Structure 1
Amino acid sequence: MNENAVKVTIAGGGASHTPGIIQALLESQAKFPVAEIRLYDIDEQKNDDMYVIIKGMLKAFKLENIKLIQTTDPEEGFKQVDFVFSQIRVGDLAMREKDEKIPLKYGLVGQETCGAGGFAYGLRSIKGLLEIVEYVQEYAPDAWILNYTNPESLIAEAVRRKFPHAKMLNACDMTISIEETICRNFGYDRKNWIAQYYGLNHFGWYTSIYDKSLKREVMPEIIEKLQKQPMKVASFNANDQSWQNAWNMLSENLRLFPDYLPNNYLEYYLFPDVVVKSSDSNYTRANYVLDTRVKENHQLAEELRAGQRADFDFDFGEHGNYIVDMAASILNDSHERFMLILPNTGSISNLRHDAVVEVPAYVGRIGAEPVALKEPINNFHKGLMEAQDAAEKLLVDAYFEHSYQKALQAFTLNLAVPSADKAKQVLDALIVANKNYWPKLH
């Protein structure tokens, strides 16, 4: 690794979140001096659009000395790079739409990372991410993989089993999005926070938020504010009603369970009937993303090709900064603190040791050093986590063993699925929809 000229590959380079990561890279040159960026994607058109956008960003930042490559070839994409940022979406938004709409036909939660749809996405993502890890092992065995690909608990479990020594960190930006939205609503600064949190990915709780500038605990007052009134969407989710609905449900969750600040995704597990009732089975989140971010990125690329656009006024929240800060902490061995998804090797004393949990960890040159909770977790959270973790492990079993029975058990145990009958119906429908992506189950 050349610490003064880092090479980065973005796997899933054509994704709509790529400009946010690039912006963070360009603004972090002092601590993370990137010399080469490679956009790797199997979708040539989307990758080409993103190449045009990133070229424009390099020009606007006066950093055209940074080498930019676009490719669909794995060797060109990964050979001798230092870091791989993975944000692949196997099956793209067309399959996400099916993940969301098929469960709704059976009265189940339709969501890309939670419930039956999340498990469908998981069986596709495992194959895609394992392929990325194989490429890195072959072409850049010393590279660090920083993974944003969902569903992260399933990804982390599968990679742990097949590549136990892979240099890989799994991170989700949802906790920082929650924190950033709270701060923009109520006037805090998350850079001053020391947060205590535990759970599974998209399935956890804050137990403490200490504000260093105020020199006190602030979580109780945040909970009180949220109980009185839901927070408003931040500018990086502006005009997105689905996110406003999520913040409304977060406040409803807190009215019933006020002791801890929950991850907003818990609505899909604790209030699945409410979510289904409020869902539009004809127009889901996938349709919204297609009509907004995807179209906007393509339009921006076309304007740049025609020489009609030179400004870049983006607000991506903390999504890009988070993964770049993590890479910089590895590069500089600075041991900054992040929320990471990793095996429970003692962080939660009364949870099985091989559960894939999300907890704070310090990151340096040798990877993650997770924080151990001071006390065992309560029985309510423990029971929820144990059931969902077991369901996820069964699904990973089903992937490697090609087992229909294990898949059925996984869908049945998933907390967003209320019965074995519904589990079988939706599993069989998703098998048909994913025939080109899932392993053949028997």
Structure 2
Amino acid sequence: MNKLKVVTIGGGSSYSPELIEGFIKRNDTLPIDELWLVDIEEGKGKLEIIGNLARRMIKKANADIKVFTTLDRREALKDADFVTTQFRVGQLDAREHDELIPLKYRVIGQETNGPGGMFKALRTIPVIMDIIEDCKELCPDAWIISFTNPAGLNAEAVFRYSGWKKFIGLCNSPIVIKHRIAKLLNLDVEELRIDFAGLNHMVFGLHVYYKGDEITKEVISKLGEYNENLSFSERFETIPYTKEFLNTLNCIPSPYLRYYFVKQQMYEHAFEEASKGGSRAQVVKEVEKNLFEKYADVNLDVKPKEIELRGGAHYSDAACNLINSIYNNLCDIQIVNTLNNGACSSFRDDEVVEISCVITKDGPKPITMGRLPIMVEGLCRQIKSYEIMSAEGAMNGNYSTILSALTINPLVQDETVAAAIIDEMLEVNKNYLSKFSS
């Protein structure tokens, strides 16, 4: 087998041990010779900690993978076969602004939805475009697998403006949904198949099959019974819908849909948590502090269980399975963000969707899913319009474009509120959004 070079942009991320473990588990079928972990100057200390942990993990597993750490992205990218991204422009301080500023205007603040999601995209898309320009020169045949949020909006921008075709946006949410359903119904997750279609963090399980038999109605009924017996604090991390709502919806919504379908409750919960100093960014800062203390322990040579507190469950499954399937032309089914190409009739061919695909050596081939249920199609179309305009704003730096984008976002839908949020968020993000300063 040909030896592979994999480059991870954002290698100093606390998620990296998940990725390392995933590569180690697949060492027999995914012959990685070089793994390059890349970060920026501000992340230098974390990068070195992760690099050393990765080497200990690989040594313990007796895997033949050489690990390199660098702050020089171009050095790393030369002749790469796969490039993964998992970076956060502005780090967790920027996420904290994304979450807290909208709350002041009675709007949900969240890193991938609403104003927070848009500003994360505005910071991120120019960096992805820079990475792609380097890849065009240094590794023109590489696949870029982007776990960087907002995954769908980033992919929309890439396909519209970069000219780069070998790009896949990736999210772990569909895998998490699949595992939750398997656990809830006591099923073998390997025998479970869910047909997904929609958008990133707005994806829907349209059909569920177990050992080839469709069990969609049974799953929806069980989810309804399960949710009715949860308190709100428990429901927050699951799928908080009533049995009646799920039965009418007649499909399985991503947990992120709670930001739209129980919007007022979610706003009140976020406001209450933030007022106690418990926004997600603030929580993650503490989690990461503790994680990196563990990572730095020279005796640690496995992925610590505490990483589960960071979120991103099954991240390594999503990323490593995808790379493995492309490399080995497995033609299995995975859920990714890619061009629709006629697969879901609720979207145009040139729009990015999150959808079940057959994964081949030539990339993902979307499976025909027909039209989304009428209850959710309008919301998805509205979000797609917001994504297209946000991507345009990230590229042209035009204030009016992002104002229009945020005004039509379902979490805002008010031009005056959108303008106030944008003005404040542009100020705190001015170091990352120079296009908007002229």
| TM-score (ref. length: structure 2) | 0.91
Query: What's the offset of the Cα at 1:243?
Result: 7.4
Q: Is contact 1:232–1:247 with CA below 8 Å preserved after alignment? A: no
Identify the match of residue 221 of structure 1 among 218, 223, 241.
Answer: 218
- The aligned amino acid for 1:145 is I
Query: What's the offset of the Cα at 1:411?
Result: 0.4
Identify the match of residue 363 of structure 1 among 348, 359, 365.
Answer: 359
Distance in structure 2 (CA, Å) of the matches to 1:391 and 1:334: 35
Query: What's the offset of the Cα at 1:391?
Result: 0.9
3-state SS of paired residue (1:35): strand
Distance in structure 2 (CA, Å) of the matches to 1:105 and 1:299: 34
- The aligned amino acid for 1:52 is N
- The aligned amino acid for 1:136 is C
Query: What's the offset of the Cα at 1:270?
Result: 2.3
Q: Is contact 1:182–1:231 with CA below 8 Å preserved after alignment? A: no
Q: Which moves more between the two structures, 360-369 or 156-165?
A: 156-165
Query: What's the offset of the Cα at 1:254?
Result: 4.3
3-state SS of paired residue (1:208): strand
Q: Specify the alignment match of 1:189 in structure 2.
A: 188
Q: Specify the alignment match of 1:339 in structure 2.
A: 335
Task: Report whether the alignment pairs 1:59 with 2:53.
Answer: no
Q: Is contact 1:330–1:365 with CA below 8 Å preserved after alignment? A: yes
Q: Can you give the 5+ residue segments of structure 2 that lack an aligned partner in the other structure?
A: none
3-state SS of paired residue (1:69): strand
- The aligned amino acid for 1:59 is K
Q: Specify the alignment match of 2:209 in structure 1.
A: 210
Query: What's the offset of the Cα at 1:352?
Result: 2.8
Query: What's the offset of the Cα at 1:153?
Result: 1.8
Distance in structure 1 (CA, Å) of the matches to 2:173 and 2:301: 31
1:12-47: per-residue Cα shift (whole Å, max 9, x none)?
A: 101111111110100101211111111011121111
3-state SS of paired residue (2:236): helix
3-state SS of paired residue (2:240): helix
Distance in structure 2 (CA, Å) of the matches to 1:51 and 1:70: 6
Distance in structure 2 (CA, Å) of the matches to 1:342 and 1:196: 15
Q: Is contact 1:391–1:414 with CA below 8 Å preserved after alignment? A: yes
Q: Which moves more between the two structures, 258-267 or 221-230?
A: 221-230
**CA pair 164-114 structure 1, distance change in 2 beyond 3 A:** same
Matches within 5 A, 1:27-426: 27-42=25-40, 43-63=43-63, 65-212=64-211, 215-230=212-227, 244-247=235-238, 249-250=240-241, 254-255=245-246, 257-279=248-270, 280-281=273-274, 282-292=277-287, 294-304=288-298, 308-310=299-301, 312-314=303-305, 317-373=313-369, 375-426=370-421
Q: Which moves more between the two structures, 113-122 or 283-292?
A: 283-292
1:145-197: per-residue Cα shift (whole Å, max 9, x none)?
A: 11111111211111112322331111211111111122233322332122211
Distance in structure 1 (CA, Å) of the matches to 2:283 and 2:183: 24
Q: Is contact 2:340–2:352 with CA below 8 Å preserved after alignment? A: yes
Distance in structure 2 (CA, Å) of the matches to 1:102 and 1:271: 20
Q: Which moves more between the two structures, 113-122 or 328-337?
A: 328-337
Query: What's the offset of the Cα at 1:224?
Result: 1.4
3-state SS of paired residue (2:333): strand
1:274-300: per-residue Cα shift (whole Å, max 9, x none)?
A: 1111112232111111111x1233112
1:344-402: per-residue Cα shift (whole Å, max 9, x none)?
A: 221122433333211111111111111112x3333332211111111111111212222
**CA pair 185-378 structure 1, distance change in 2 beyond 3 A:** closer
Q: Is contact 1:207–1:260 with CA below 8 Å preserved after alignment? A: yes
3-state SS of paired residue (1:136): helix
- The aligned amino acid for 1:114 is N
Query: What's the offset of the Cα at 1:244?
Result: 4.7
| TM-score (ref. length: structure 1) | 0.91
Q: Is contact 2:249–2:375 with CA below 8 Å preserved after alignment? A: no
1:319-350: per-residue Cα shift (whole Å, max 9, x none)?
A: 10221111111111111211111222211224
Q: Which runs of 4+ in 1 moved over 6 A?
A: none
Distance in structure 1 (CA, Å) of the matches to 2:323 and 2:249: 35
3-state SS of paired residue (2:155): helix
**CA pair 370-242 structure 1, distance change in 2 beyond 3 A:** farther
Q: Which moves more between the two structures, 246-255 or 219-228?
A: 246-255
Q: Can you give the 5+ residue segments of structure 1 that lack an aligned partner in the other structure?
A: 234-240
Q: Is contact 1:330–1:364 with CA below 8 Å preserved after alignment? A: yes
Identify the match of residue 17 of structure 1 among 15, 18, 26.
Answer: 15
- The aligned amino acid for 2:18 is G
**CA pair 252-416 structure 1, distance change in 2 beyond 3 A:** farther
